[in-house]
Structure 1
Amino acid sequence: MPAQIVSAVPVPFTRDGSIDLAEYEKTLTSIEEHVTGVLIAGTTGEFPALEDDERVELFRVAAGLLGADRVIGHVGHASSRQVLRLADAAANTGITRFALLSPYYLPSDDDGVIGFFRSLTEAHPEADVYAYVFPERTGMEISVELLREVLRLPGMVGVKLSGGAADRLPEYATALGDGQELYSGDDGRLPWVVEHGGTGVVSGVSSAFPETFAALARALDDGDTDRVDELQRTVTRLVGLTGPTITRLKAALTVRTGGEWACRMSLPGVPAELRKDIDEVVARFR
């Protein structure tokens, strides 16, 4: 399978906190030819700050522009009741690929985690579901053995690893069944991900630099090691500069698209000198 780039698209807010749908559509259109698909309303999309009807509208717009089969809608919530309500609404947009963050805030156990995913797969047997593992955000480690049990549920097609879980990708890869996919949220290491059994990356930074990420994936598929090394150095720089915070990524998108790209959540600012560096790389690699 060719190396996959799934873009984790941020949500463009205006300074008054509204969603700028025109800017969102412009961004989706600009990345459409460069990426395999998109993950909507994930961590990069500040999903805790979105109302359910806003998430559904983001799903609907993405499905309309890219095709529903290229959209993974994140339906994560604190309770199965909320997950299923959101999944029902997402399914009405035509989307059949869901990502679900493991239970968060209150602690759970293995049975609770398995039951959480089972509730979605049983309610939507037509859907392809990806487990979303992010221990730093959920406060819970998912063991390889537990992931293996989750992935045995009918309808589970893969997993996305973020934070510390992404560093353990080779271990988690052993939990995959036949045909299942493994994505890393560490978008600065696509060659390493593929080498160790991954399918590709779910990349926030690719929304600002889709051409560069697409070129790296092509070089990797072509076996052009010199070109891979060259592009990997560029990607490492771009991810190091714009990847650490959503505000840095949105600073890059502001330069790329001209939109406001404000945040709803209380996130760290971008110092003037760093913003200048971001401006320069966007001008060079857009």
Structure 2
Amino acid sequence: MPGAAPAGSAADLALHLQRLGDDALVLGQRLCQWITRAPTLDEDLALSNIALDLVGHARTLLTHAGRLDGTGRTEDDFAYGRPDREFTNTLLTELPNGDFATTVARQLAYTHYAVLYYEQLTHCPDTELAAFGARAAKEVAFHRLHADRWTVTLGRGTEESARRMRHGLERVWPYTGELFEEDEVLRRLSASGTVPSPAPLRETWLHRVTGVLTEAGLAVPAPTWSARGGRSGLHTEEFGPLVAELQSVRRQFPGGTW
């Protein structure tokens, strides 16, 4: 059947798609917080459009997850009907925006990863997921160009902008390793050929990011620790308020339609 996952992998694939969808949803919500607060009007529009793309990715992924896991949950059920402990996004995507340079650093890390992984999804036997990967990779490639450009601009700008960019990189880098973590779910999915594991992509990701940072006159941070737990529902202190903000209208008007 077109769009169907290989037998026996539906539950695992549903969880994997939920994780990817949560990444996109949560990062999109963080970027929405820049609306009316970005450094320039152009950046206000750019970040808004990037956030809109990410929410679109989340809708596709979460809807597909709801069909596969047998619950019939919709994108709205996933977004508005779960407590924060049931979200499975990486901690990187939920980090507070900080100043503009910190947001750029977070975008640099995420977009280079997302382009690589979505390109790999185009080879999935699930034709719906493969089509999504092709579309999403093209869209995130523009997000990556935006992050690359600002990384170089800030790194080669003033002493202050370079300092802030270095600080942003140091702030987010301990959270990048979780993007490439492989657990039993991913091992089963990759062994069956259902979806690729992100783990082998880390070296290519680092090579590409290093190229951007070198052009910007910046060094790759060398963190002494690595954050993890987001995929298991363990989140940062700032995540609860973000979920409350995301779900505020549904909580105020439960069961409402519009």
- TM-score of Structure 1 vs Structure 2, range by shorter chain: under 0.3
Q: TM-score, normalised by structure 2?
A: 0.27
Between the two structures, name the one with larger relative contact order (CA 8 Å, sep ≥ 6).
2
Give the TM-score of the pair, scaled to structure 1: 0.25
